Structure 1
Amino acid sequence: MSLFRAHLVFYRCALNLNSSYNFGFLVAITFVLQIITGITLAFRYTSEASCAFASVQHLVREVAAGWEFRMLHATTASFVFLCILIHMSRGMYNSSYSYLTTAWMSGLVLYLLTIATAFLGYVLPWGQMSFWGATVITNLLSPIPYLVPWLLGGYYVSDVTLKRFFVLHFILPFVGCILIVLHIFYLHLNGSSNPAGIDSALKVAFYPHMLMTDAKCLSYLIGLIFLQTAFGLIELSHPDNSIPVNRFVTPLHIVPEWYFLAYYAVLKVIPSKTGGLLVFMLSTCQ
């Protein structure tokens, strides 16, 4: 409890922090929300290739409030990445990587883990786009020795692959929670970046100043998530993923989620698998 009070009540932060500094808090909240909704969905999900698609459809169509949890989980994934990208952009703008190295590196590892978790979750509905997306992306990872056979449990996407992806998708978010705690620890160890400089003496206690602004931004985010979940204002998923897997029919266009589009373009535009993978890793770690 004393540790909690030290980091979330008495921690002193710069007085001039604006709303862009609230996105780190929003990342943590949306991450936890994903874990809660994910555990709820896991009770109804079947990680068998013959039943996975049907179990998702049963959840959406037959289980009370099932569609709400399914759409909330899918929608919040986009908001997790939106908050992360804004949070990282603000850090790059303030050159946080140059003097908050440990916090930056822990955040970068968390970002890579979030990418992996989202990709694994994208495969679980076992629709056409899920299956063929998994096939394409895992083939692009083939330059890394032994990785693809270990992930797939063989040489192609199969029932074993789905089981492994489900287990990894369930475990990795809890590893992410540990990384979030480490990220906050390193951040509070050195102090947050701010327009006046990290050594600014103009500081106030985290509670109530920053906590109130965090709560305000969280209320806006919850409203946006509710609107997208209930009304689907923006089309976030490909319609082909509502079709059961057919190994003999490849979709005309294999398109990933919007937060993977930039990396997918990098991998596709470079003819060499090894070159594309290297550019992907370099662009992510910059």
Structure 2
Amino acid sequence: MTRTYYSPRGGLPDPRTRAHDRARFTTAYAVIPRGVMSDIVSSFVPGWTGSRVWILARPLSGFAETFAQYIVELMPGGRGDKPEPDPEAQAVLFVLRGTVDLIIDEETTYNLVPGSFAYIPPGLKWQLLNTHTDRTNLMWFRKRYEPVPGLEPPDLVIAHDDDVEPEPIRGTDNAWSTTRFVDPGDLRHDMHVNVVTFYPGATIPFAETHVMEHGIYILQGRGVYYLNEQWVEVQEGDFLWLRAFCPQACCATGTEPFRYLLYKDVNRHPKLSL
């Protein structure tokens, strides 16, 4: 299987383009098509230089409340010297394009390439630096860690999509699988970021309805996604944002694997007050 990872192109749409697109925002979900991620909706944030971000998701009362999700673009020489302003936050990074150096505690450097995954626990000092001659795009997930008495925070995890064996979903003849970068049984983790793969024609055969919130970024391919009684066409580069209990299913279309990066909150009791 050839793996590709779509990253934003930036720029501006042709001014003759119709304003109507597949973008949607409802009380249960949002769809941000890849064409929306243009220059005029990017942001600059403190702690980063030679960079910009597209903020795809943020805690929003009455919608998704556990996480923020960005696409970060680092130009050659761009860096994040103090990337995380919240000392309670943990991070997941997933590289879409280019290469970047992840520096931990100012002493250990990991060279991350497309398909690289990094889980960074709360309280660990980290930096990013693009020392190469091309831009780098990476996904950045932020979530405040929810400590549990008797459990230490998780360890740093560095992995790669090519090196983790996908786990097939039973009964699907390997047409649907999940690549898990951390042990799902490790209760120290309160968030998972996985890669889900469907071969053309594979489906989720029922409408999932569950407490986990989702951020879904389409890495490769095309599909149709069922979202709260509506079917929506999606393609690589699109982003889906689902609140808890939003019914969801999908079917892979096209001629190549349909793959997406999936965030969900896990392994904690629901809070009984807001």
Q: Shorter-normalised TM-score: what interval?
A: under 0.3
What TM-score comes out, normalization by structure 1 length? 0.22
More strand by share: 2
Which of structures 1 and 2 has the larger relative contact order (alpha carbons within 8 angstroms, sep 6+)?
Answer: 1
What TM-score comes out, normalization by structure 2 length? 0.23
More helix by share: 1
- Please identify the structure whose Cα radius of gyration is greater: 1
